[in-house]
Structure formats: structure tokens, C-alpha cells
Amino acid sequence: MLASRLLSILMLLQARGQMSAKALAAEFEVSERTIHRDIDQLSAAGVPVYAERGRGGGFRLLDGYRTRLTGLTEPEAEALFLAGLPGPAAQLGLADLLSTARLKLMAALPAHVQPKAERIAARFHLDPAGWFRGEDPLASLKPVAQAVWSEHYLRLNYRPAGEAEAYPRKLGPLGLVLKGGVWYLVAQSGKAVRTYRVANISEAEITGEAFVRPVSFDLPDYWRHASSAYETGLYRGRAEVRVSPAGVALLDRLGPQVAEAAALTATDPDVGGWVRCVVPIESVRSGVRELMRLGEEIEIVGPKALREAMTEALAAMLRRHTGEPARPTAGVEIAAEAS
């Protein structure tokens, strides 16, 4: 454990230039006293590491000192080859670079490690996209990625979800996130930080104006909180339903939050095995569309507006399939969207 931590400290100092004892202690979840002892051991081993005193100081390596990537274990090499994502790399225009880097890594590995690394690459394939989905059109991904990397403002047109018209934006790019096969741009708009689906971006161009990325901004932390807030805020309503035993097994199709809410509120089964529960919905319109996915295994008890909308939607579908004349009601629109 100690040897591994010493090597990791050395690699961190080489990669980041300078780190304080407090930052290193937080990184390895040890005390600052332990870090100071580790630094002493590195110095005793001949590593030219020294401390800069005062405010903003820390430990750093002597300028020009580099250690070679040696001692890579078999599991570490396997993990590196498993981590490659050829699909997203190709979307970003990095497929050739990734291929070259893998070849260089393979050539640098010890002979006894190479066969296992090759075996990992041949036996595991990572496909981040969801089922039954085509790839998003990503004409703007490359300039967006270049702006993120070069830290320059972007000018683009953005079409919000559900709207036909795109609107001009000037954004300070903070990062790109690949979520379920969909690329998102996290960017600063004015003083606010917002998320934009890259497929809805058009005519993106990098400006000559440099963007100063906030030092305190943490992309993984932002995404974790933003995605959680999005999922929580998506559901503004509640539906009381009766669900059959088969329907209960299908609830996870509506998402983990729906299945969890149903499990927490479910009553004891009646004589037919049906249970009552309360599930979250976005709105009456989307509630009809989503709950229809359970077919005859669900009955809406309330609220009244949702039950009536479902009744109208089902009646419209019945008329459509039996050849009866359709009636122009709000429910017909719902049914048309759901079908």
C-alpha cells in the first residue's frame, strides 16, 4: 500500500506540477503528517522533490525531472485497454489518434503483459448508446469540442427541446458529457451554467475571444447535481393507480424513480393480486402516454383529470380501430401522440 501511494504521489506531482500536503492528504485519504513522511521517503530514494513554503506553496518535482511509465501491472494494462471508447472517439474525430496511442502503449508494455491486454481488447466492446436509438446528428460536435479544449467562446444556434425554431447563443464552454449515448455541452451563459444537447446545436463556430474557465468549476460534480435535479424536477404530478402483478413487474420500464415510488406506496394486494400505489408523472398529457405502456395491467384511479384523459385516449384508439368516426376532442390529441 505504501509503495503504491509513493508511486501515485510521484505521478501526481509529475502530472500536476505542484500539490499541497492538504490536497495530497485528501487525494489518498490519509493525514498530512503521513504525506510529509511519504515525501521524506521519496527524497531518501533519490527523487528530487522539494517544498515551496508560504501561501499557495506545496510540493513539486525539480524542473525537468520525469519518471518513465514502468511497473504497469497486468490489471492496470487491461483496464487501460478496456477504457477505450472507439465510438465516442470517432465522433470527436479522435479515432486515428486513439488507435495510434493504443499501439504505442502496447509497444511500451512488458512482453508478458501484452497478450492479456490484447485479449481484453478483443473480448470486451463498450457500446454506450441505448437500445432502439439511432445516433444523434453531430455536425457541431467537433467545433464544440475544440472550443472546450481551446477555451474560447462559442457562437451557435440552439433549438430547445420541443421547439421548431433555433435561437442564437454565445456560450463559454465548460465541458462535454456523454450520457447514455447522447452528447451534452455544459456551458456558461451569462452568469448561469446550463446544459445543451449537442444534437440541437447548429452553425457552431469558435470565436477569437478567450473564455476564462472558473477555477472552482468541477464538471463531474456539476453533472451529478444537475442530472439529479433534472430527474427530481421532471415529475410535477402524481397518479394513483391500481396495478396487476404483471404490471408491477413492468413498472421499471417507466424508470427507476417510478418503480421506487410505487414500491414505497404500494398497498397489500387484493384478492386478484392487484395493488394500489402512487407514482410520479410529468403532466396529465405525458402521464397518459407513459402509463399506456403498461396496457391492460394498470388502472388509473386519480386524479380525475388524468383518468378522464386516459378514458378519452382509449376511446379514440377504439374508434380508430373499429372504424367509428373520430371526435375532435383533447383526448384524441393525446391518443395520437401516444400511438
Task: List the CATH number of the domain containing 45.
Answer: 1.10.10.10
Give 137's pLDDT tier (boundaries 50, 70, 90).
low
Return the bridge partners of 175, or none.
186
Mean pLDDT, range 100-106, rounded to an integer: 61
Pair 104, 176 in one domain: no
Higher-confidence residue of 233 and 40: namely 40
Q: Which domain holds residue 186?
A: 141-232
- Only one residue has cell 408491477, namely 248
- Residue 295 placed within a domain: yes
Q: Is the residue at 66 inside a domain?
A: no
Judged against a pLDDT cut of 60, whether residue 269 lies above it is answered with yes
pLDDT at residue number 39: 85
Residue 306 φ then ψ, to 5°: -70, -40
Q: How confident is the prediction for the chain on average, in pLDDT?
A: 78
- Do 320 and 249 fall within a single domain? yes
Residue 269 lies in a domain: yes
Q: Are residues 206 and 157 both part of a single domain?
A: yes
In the predicted model, what is the mean pLDDT of residues 210-231? 86
Task: Label residue 337 by pLDDT band (50, 70, 90).
Answer: very low
89 vs 232, residue with greater confidence: 232
Q: Please report whether residue 133 resides in a domain.
A: no
Position with higher pLDDT, 337 vs 312: 312
191/211 same-domain check: yes
Residues 271 and 328 in one domain: yes
Distance CA 236, CA 66 (A): 55
Give the number of domains in the chain: 4
| Average of per-residue pLDDT across 1-15 | 74
Q: Domain boundary at 31, 61, 91, which?
A: 61
Q: What was the pLDDT predicted at 225?
A: 87
User: Does residue 13 form part of some domain?
Assistant: yes
- Where is the domain boundary, 181, 209, 232? 232
pLDDT in tens, 158-206: 988 767 788 999 999 999 888 877 889 999 998 899 999 988 999 999 9
CA distances from 192 to 18, 26, 145, 171, 224 (A): 31, 29, 20, 10, 17
Are 40 and 23 part of one and the same domain?
A: yes
135 assigned to some structural domain:
no
> What's the pLDDT at 107?
60
C-alpha 278/C-alpha 294 separation (Å) is 15
The pLDDT, as a whole number, for residue 186 is: 93
Residues 55 and 78 in one domain: no
**Pairwise pLDDT comparison (337 vs 117), residue with the higher score:** 117
Residue 152 confidence (pLDDT) above 90: yes
Q: Read off the pLDDT of residues 275-285 as tens digits, 9 standing for 90 and up.
A: 999 988 888 88
Q: How far is CA 170 from CA 12, 29, 191, 196, 256, in A?
A: 35, 41, 12, 12, 36
What is the reported pTM? 0.53
The CATH number of the domain holding residue 214 is 2.30.30
Each residue of 18-73: pLDDT tens digit? 888 888 888 888 898 888 888 888 888 788 888 887 777 788 888 777 665 555 55
Which residues is 178 bridged to in the sheet? 183
Q: How far is CA 212 from CA 147, 171, 172, 193, 215, in A?
A: 12, 12, 8, 14, 9
pLDDT average, residue stretch 95-110: 60
Least confident of 35-39, 114-118, 247-251, 285-289: 114-118
- For residue 209, give Cα distances in angstroms to 150, 163, 176, 199, 238: 11, 30, 20, 24, 47
Report if residue 69 sits inside a domain: no
The stretch 255-261 carries a mean pLDDT of 83
* Alpha helices (H) along the chain: 2-16, 21-28, 32-44, 74-82, 86-91, 95-108, 114-123, 141-150, 219-234, 245-250, 256-265, 284-291, 304-322, 330-338
Q: Is the pLDDT of residue 298 over 80?
A: yes
pLDDT band, very low/low/confident/very high, at 305 (cuts 50, 70, 90)? very high
